[in-house]
Structure 1
Amino acid sequence: MKARKTIVSALAVALVAGSSALAWAGQQEGCNATDRTDKRVERMARHLELDEAQQASLKALFTGRAEQRSEHPRKRMAGLAALDPNAPDYQQQVKQQISEMQQQLAERVQARADFKASLFAILTPEQEQKLAEMREHKRGKHHHGDHGHRHERSGDRW
């Protein structure tokens, strides 16, 4: 039982350290949400031939999404890791964690669906088709023949 707790603690420390290192690296490069939004809109404008109004709408959409994410950060499995398996109500606590995570997942799925609907409301049918083709091409490029190995992601992320 102690070995399991030690492993869980070590994993938690590693996750925190890794997240901190990534955040620090992003700050060092001067990469922030505004920069990422600007680059994303710029790429989409170039590939989808967006007009100025569409670019402004997309920038507002991406900025709103980033703000929403920062206001509601995702809960990780830390809640589960913090539970004491020897507690008399351990299974009830686990069920509570499951319930909270299911609710959170439902909220994320709904937010993603709302975002997609808002995105497609900005694009023309031709731009929607081109975006779908680009995503499919990107998906195929990263998932065919990788045999379980991760590939570097291209810079064009939507």
Structure 2
Amino acid sequence: MAGGSEDTDAANIAQLNVVNETAKTADTKATEAQKTAVTANTNAIDARNTAYNLATHNSARIDKLELRYDELNDKMQRGFAMSAATSNLFQPYNVGKFNLSAAVGGYNAENAVAIGSGYRFNENVAVKASLATSTSNGGDVMYGAGMNLEW
């Protein structure tokens, strides 16, 4: 039987097989396109998750860095306050005299106290030592010692 060619003709098996093969090929290509789309979507989701995890990790690191910065800033301010306190301690002026002095210092909101002592051996040689601590919760201590030679 010849293949139908008019709208009212019946189709033969050969024509039906051609249509069936064309449909199978189209279905296979559609399935491959769907698999490609699924792979692309999976890759996009993986990239998004990687970016999210990286952003979360970086955010935690930035928070730690900010905390370390704040702690360092507080420590520096306590150090400046202690330096101000120790710089206001007196050195012994008279030969053969021992002195003991105390001072306070501050920087911004930080305060410190210092004590020091010294001794002048003669007109040319004097020594002194100091100890300071901040009055805040840092528990920081600063100390120093020095010798003065004059001629």
Identify whether the pair has TM-score above 0.5, normalized to the shorter chain: no
Higher relative contact order (CA 8 A, sep 6+): 1
Normalised-by-shorter TM-score class: under 0.3
Structure number with higher strand proportion: 2
Output the TM-score relative to the length of structure 2: 0.26
Structure number with higher helix proportion: 1
Output the TM-score relative to the length of structure 1: 0.25
Q: Which has the larger radius of gyration?
A: 2
